[in-house]
Amino acid sequence: MRRSLRDIQSEPDTRNMPINKVGVKDISYPVVVLDRADGEQHTVARVNMYVNLPHHFRGTHMSRFIEILNKYRRGISTLNIRDILNEMKETLQAETSHFEIEFPYFITKHAPVSGEPAKMEYRCRISGSSDEDFYTMEINVPVLSLCPCSKEISRYGGHNQRSMLSVTVKAREKIWIETIVEIAESSASSDIYSLLKREDEKYITERAYENPVFVEDIVRNAAQKLRDIPGILWFSVESENFESIHNHSAYAQIQMSLEDGHGNG
């Protein structure tokens, strides 16, 4: 006969202190995410899962978070985050739940002249809460920028730098990662690639020279395009340009709400 074990977590607590978030953090876990070109993509994510804890419970059952995550290991996306959040609430008898997942996402890019294919990595983060009717997605996209001022005042050349464009959107419906990446890359002097031959390097260098942008231009270009994407409720776009001739970065950010249809910041 199996002996019944004491459930200490469910025992009462008398300190009258509710906890806003309790759960498991920084779980490394293999997952499958939606891929616009191939349907799905296998990757490894870092996952955070939390629920609230009423004041009268001493603790939550940590193992149940992992049990829930394991049910969705074959496919986690914006399509089922709401299901995960609801199951967390029900299983852990909570009023609110929170889910965060961060992962590398890979897109095959072809060099602009040689056509050589190679994988580019983009860092992504998707999160949601049961008390919100939207999800949040953040994507970090490396790009190339060339300074308009440097080009204008120099007899030849112009200093350039790698820039990191971070785009965060809130939406209720599916927004493809690839869509955000394309917007970010088209807002800079040039996108960048994992693999380039000499003819590709020549092409990109000249393309960037013909398309100089300040950090302010980058975020404005991206904001104009994000504003036209159906389904986005709010967005933030920020660019950090890692300067090549200064010991500091240049930075700009735009935030905009689109829920009222007027694009207010």
Look at residues 173, 86, 72, 78 and name the one whose alpha carbon lies nearest to residue 130.
86
Q: Do domains 14-129 and 133-265 have the same CATH topology?
A: yes
pLDDT digits (tens, 9 = 90+) for 209-265: 999 999 999 999 999 999 999 999 999 999 999 888 888 889 999 999 997 654 555
Q: Look at the domain 133-265 and name its fold.
A: Urate Oxidase (3.10.270)
User: Which residues on neighbouring strands pair with residue 49, listed in sequence order?
Assistant: 24, 99
Cβ(177)–Cβ(124) below 8 Å: yes
Domain ranges of the chain: 14-129, 133-265
pLDDT, tens digit only, all 265 positions of the chain: 566 766 666 666 667 788 899 999 999 998 888 899 998 899 999 999 999 987 666 667 788 999 999 888 777 777 788 999 999 999 988 999 999 999 999 999 999 999 999 999 999 999 999 999 999 999 999 999 998 998 889 888 888 899 999 999 999 988 999 999 999 999 999 999 999 999 999 999 999 999 999 999 999 999 999 999 999 999 999 999 988 888 888 999 999 999 765 455 5
CATH of span 14-129: 3.10.270.10
pLDDT digits (tens, 9 = 90+) for 53-65: 876 666 677 889 9
How far is the C-alpha of 26 from the C-alpha of 209, rounded, in Å?
A: 42
